[in-house]
């Protein structure tokens, strides 16, 4: 009897530690470090020089992390029926197993274990990079995404205005360069769609430099387009930043 009660207490404690609603518990932080470690290992394994020199170490780390994630997955299945609103018993565990988050958890270790059986399945090993998506389970990441989504929804009208400004600037710039440069550089500015490549790279301030106007009038238009591109970048950033601040103040009035 006492053993059953101790097992129930252990199960409840583990459920609280694994719960995303409990904040950053030490267990969730430890799992987060494991996720980051697995991402680093998966990324480094794609570099031929590192893979040739440290293949055995990478394999050992990969197997160790896979075992950790397998234990975590089993623990989550065990405590799944104790989640708020979950069905009890096997049905609650089954509901968790077929959920998208559980499938993502399984991808964290299944490719490695399958790779031990069939090392030739290189594609499965690449699936480990999907561990990056598991970062969304972090309470910090989820909070940031919530604020960001709320900022987008709140400033949707302003962002539409900014997008309209961007489209108009692109069309005016590409049309002007088509009229001014089409005879000089028909391969680059022979049509408005061709001119759009230059307009996009200029307005977004990327400026690859592979296509540049040669005429004096074209250079003047290019200068004005580049100046207008500053607003294309700055206006949406300012709008989203304002929405982000409003979202944070809404949850934490002391920051206002």
- Is-contact 86 97, C-beta < 8 A? no
Higher pLDDT, 84 or 166: 166
Pick the CATH number of 2-137 from 3.40.50.11610, 1.10.1370.30, 1.20.120.350, 3.40.50.10190: 1.20.120.350
pLDDT score recorded for residue 242:
87
For the chain, what is the mean pLDDT? 80
| Stronger pLDDT, 168 or 147, i.e. the higher one | 168
pTM value? 0.56
pLDDT greater than 90 at residue 173: yes
- In the chain, list all ranges with CATH 1.20.120.350: 2-137
The CATH topology of domain 151-255 is Helix Hairpins (1.10.287)
- CATH 1.10.287.70 range(s) for the chain read 151-255
Residues 196/201/203/204 CA torsion (nearest 10 deg) = 130
Instruction: Please write the tens of the pLDDT for every residue from 110-135.
Output: 767 666 555 544 455 555 556 666 66
């Amino acid at each position: 009897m006492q053993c059953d009660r101790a097992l129930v207490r252990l199960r409840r404690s583990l459920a609280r530690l694994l719960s995303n609603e409990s904040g950053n518990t030490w267990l969730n932080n430890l799992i987060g470090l494991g996720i980051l470690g697995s991402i680093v290992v998966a990324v480094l394994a794609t570099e031929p020089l590192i893979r040739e020199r440290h293949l055995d170490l990478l394999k050992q780390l990969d197997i160790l992390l896979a075992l950790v994630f397998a234990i975590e997955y089993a623990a989550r299945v065990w405590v799944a029926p104790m989640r708020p609103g979950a069905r009890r018993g096997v049905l609650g565990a089954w509901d968790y197993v077929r959920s998208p988050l559980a499938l993502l958890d399984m991808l964290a270790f299944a490719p490695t274990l399958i790779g031990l059986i069939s090392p030739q399945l290189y594609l499965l090993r690449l699936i480990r990079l999907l561990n990056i998506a598991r970062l969304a389970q972090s309470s910090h990441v989820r909070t940031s995404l919530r604020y960001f989504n709320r900022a987008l929804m709140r400033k949707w009208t302003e962002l539409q205005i900014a997008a309209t400004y961007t489209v108009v600037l692109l069309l005016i710039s590409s049309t002007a360069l088509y009229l001014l440069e089409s005879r000089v550089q028909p391969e680059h500015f022979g049509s408005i769609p061709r001119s759009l490549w230059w307009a996009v790279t200029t307005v977004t301030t990327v400026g690859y430099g592979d296509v540049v106007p040669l005429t004096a009038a074209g250079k003047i238009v290019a200068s004005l387009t580049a100046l207008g591109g500053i607003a294309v970048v700055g206006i949406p950033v300012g709008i989203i930043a304002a929405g982000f601040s409003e979202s944070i103040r809404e949850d934490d009035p002391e920051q206002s």
